[in-house]
Structure 1
Amino acid sequence: MRYLHTMVRVKDLDASLRFYCDLLGLQEVRRTENEAGRYTLVFLTAPRNLEQSAAERAPEVELTYNWDAEDYQGGRNFGHLAYKVDDIYAACQRFMDAGVVVNRPPRDGNMAFVRSPDGISIELLQEGRPLAPAEPWASMPNTGSW
């Protein structure tokens, strides 16, 4: 397993970039604009991480800017922790066997979400290529929020 990033929702992307980049010293490494989902993702890293191979880099910070205004309450601005796993189906099965709800099943063989006992959302991503869709995951609905 490999820790990937921590996601934080931001209300003002420009102000957040000034804070994280100009003041804190992080550097933008990639950006994704999603018109259909109406959001922008900006991934930031410490400058020394750029000297490392991808496998050696420390986790990044993902700034998520939702284009439609939202007032984040109750820690909703903190999104999730993300980890790559060797077998997403096996990982989700371990959680289910332990009584943990898989909030967003890995229908695509690539991504799932669970919550910690304290309600922290955890994103699981398949290492390498997505696995072929398989049951019971392919037809399993979302449960709750993540």
Structure 2
Amino acid sequence: MKFVFNHYNYNVLDLEKSMAFYEAALGLKEVRRKEAPDGSWKLVYLGDGVTDFQLELTWLRDRKEPYNLGENEFHLAFTVADYDAAHEKHKEMGCICFENPEMGIYFINDPDNYWLEIVPEKK
């Protein structure tokens, strides 16, 4: 029996704002969506166009307060070929929340404060 990664979920307060962020910051685009018949929830799956892995954004109509992310010790990681250009883009967007120059990585945060690690592609 073999298990394969499929998707990871983040719950978000403003679905459109989150989708715009993920496209602008990381190039992720909607690949599919599910919606409740009564409009109480939406699931939007974002993909990178390269791998099969997807990020599921869950929006709940009745949720108004921010999600408790604890100490935010969990995250998704993305590799990028042009690390310096990515860093400059995220700096301009104002979304870099932590840098670790010794490790050669940095983190950005999305509109709901989920952290996303940016790692240079290994050559």
TM-score by length of 1: 0.42
Please identify the structure whose Cα radius of gyration is greater. Answer: 1
